[in-house]
Structure formats: C-alpha cells, structure tokens
Chain A
Amino acid sequence: MAITGAKARIDYESVKIGELAVVRAPRVLRTILGSCIGLALYDGINKVAGLAHIVLPKSNGDHSLPGKFADTAVDALMAAMVSLGAKPRLVRAKIAGGASMFKTSASGRIGTLNAEAVREHLKQANVPLLAEEVGGERGRRMSLFADDGRVLVEIHGTESQAL
C-alpha cells in the first residue's frame, strides 16, 4: 500500500574534506562546503558521477590526498570515474563553494583562488563547466545525483538551488 505524503529516503554517500568519491546511478554523493570547492563531474550516458572536496589550489607535489587540491583533483576524479566506465569526452562539470566565512580569516581569498584554479584545470582537461554557484559568505550543502547529474546546492535558511 502506498503511503501518501511520505518522502522517499535517500541514502547519501558523504564526501569528507579533502576526499573524492565516484558512484554509479542511482546513488547520491553529498558534501558540505565553506571556503572549499565541491567539484562535481558527470558522464550522463554511462551514468557515472564523481565528487571532490577541494581545499586548496595547489598540491606543491603532495599526492597524499588527490581530492584536496585543485591541480590534482580533476585528473584523479576523472581517472576514478573512468574505472567505473565513464568516458572522458562525455564528462561535464559543475562547481559550488568558495565562500568567505569570516572577516578575520584567510579563507576568503582562498575560496576565490580555489574556484579560479578549478576552472583553469577543467579547461586544461577539456571538461566543459556547465554551472557554478560560488562565493558569498555562507556554507553550502552540495548533493550530486548520479541518475541524472543534477546538483542541489543548499544554503541554510534559503531555498535549495538546482544546477
């Protein structure tokens, strides 16, 4: 018997700070962002999705956490998606985050630098950037749905936005 009014439970796979994850449809990836950038990659034909939680623009040779840096995350996320069956030429990107949370901290400038670095590395990898929701002063919750590639961005106390 159908229960009207009940919401279907969605199992989100959480992507922690500096990490990356890839899934196939119908799974959903989710991360929470402040000054960091969430990089969502999606192959809509093969239904493979990847999400990286990027903390800083440059790795300076540190390869311990490839999802942590803009200059290592794009390639690492793409490689992980290919291992699940994605084709690089079919992959599209969306990004969110890069907020300036505090007047007293260095995070504001880093957020902007993170966003610039991600755009640059996507360009180098020939991955089209379809949409972005970056900047501002508030944290964001970003969800990537592997069934259709939609990205939901929520800022507490406001309507969620679909990218």
Chain B
Amino acid sequence: MANVSGSTYGLTTLSPIIEDNKLNLCHSMQIRWYLSQLPRDHRSPFAQLSSTYLARLVVMDDVVFVGHPACEEHLKSRYLLFETNFDGDLNTYLRRMATEAGEFVNAVWKHCVGFPGTDTVDAFITYMKTCQIETTFFFADVNDQTVESTLNALKTQAALAHFMEKHEGLPPADLQAAFGKFVERLHNAPPLPRGGDESRNIAQERRPHD
C-alpha cells in the first residue's frame, strides 16, 4: 500500500474550506492566522503527538497559472492540505489527534466543510478518512525504526561519544567496569524528554545519557 513505507504511515488529507463572503476575515485567512501563532518548539501540537516524524499544513487557495503553454485551471474550492508521517496505524494516530491535540484540531478544522469536531472520536476518524487521498510518495527517512527508537539511538550515540572521551586512556579493567556501569545507566534511563527546544534546557541531573 502506497500509504505505508516500512513501519511509517504517510497520511495526506484535503479538506475543503468553508466559503462565507459575509465574514470580515475569511475562513482560509483565519486558518493561516491561527497557524502562524502556533509555537514551533516543544509546545507544538505535533511535538505532543510524539510518533510524528514530520507534518505540515498548507492552505491552498487555487491553482497558480504559470503562463503559456500551461492552461488556466481552477480548484472547486479552497482546501486545507494536511500531510503527516508517523509510526503505527492510521486509526491510532487519528484517535491521538482527537484526544491529545483536540483543541488544536478543532481550531484548525472548524473552518472546513463537514468537520464534525473531535468530541465523537469515531466521527472525526471517519471525516479524516473521507478527506484522505492516497499518498504515493513521502519522506520516510528511517522507515524501519520508530521516532522513539531513532531518538534513543541518537542519544545513545551521543552518550557513547561522551563516555569514550571521558574515559580515554583508562586501564582495560577500569574501562570495562566503567562501561558496565554506563550500559546499566542507559538501561535504567527514564524515557526521553519530548522533542523541541525544551530538551536543551533540562537540568544536567535529569540527563543520564550525558
């Protein structure tokens, strides 16, 4: 199935945006405004949905005429394009969107035709699947690893580099003992902090990997 690459799922939806000429600020502009205010760090809704690799939202007004010999074409409506890729199956991800990022989802999709809200999760899932189009090609950088296992691997790599530098030149027996402790500490490490800038500011004592 084209929507899946390895263990990564690529979701693309196109949701028609409500047309209402009576509004001062049309729905598509309201979406743009809201999106422009969203935090881009660890407070981003997609940082909360921790299985997300990459996500983007685009407000599409119309097809841009690029000049002759292209012909002039138009969309039937304005659309909200949503693309995301993530670990696991679609139902689980959509359920998490509704339950863990409901405020964000409602604030964006309430401007779209037929959006049922997130109070009834099944209705939301059905709506998103109705808007879904097949994703034939998407970015799946590490498609046999989860976001969490990739982050863990990166942290482990950084921790190992730190360990190597700190213990350079130690006699073999001492090195082995220290390595044993290091591995044990890695095993017992608490879960990784969520992505985003906040992780840089976590106090040293909460960063056993370092």
Query: Do chains A and B interact in one complex?
Result: no
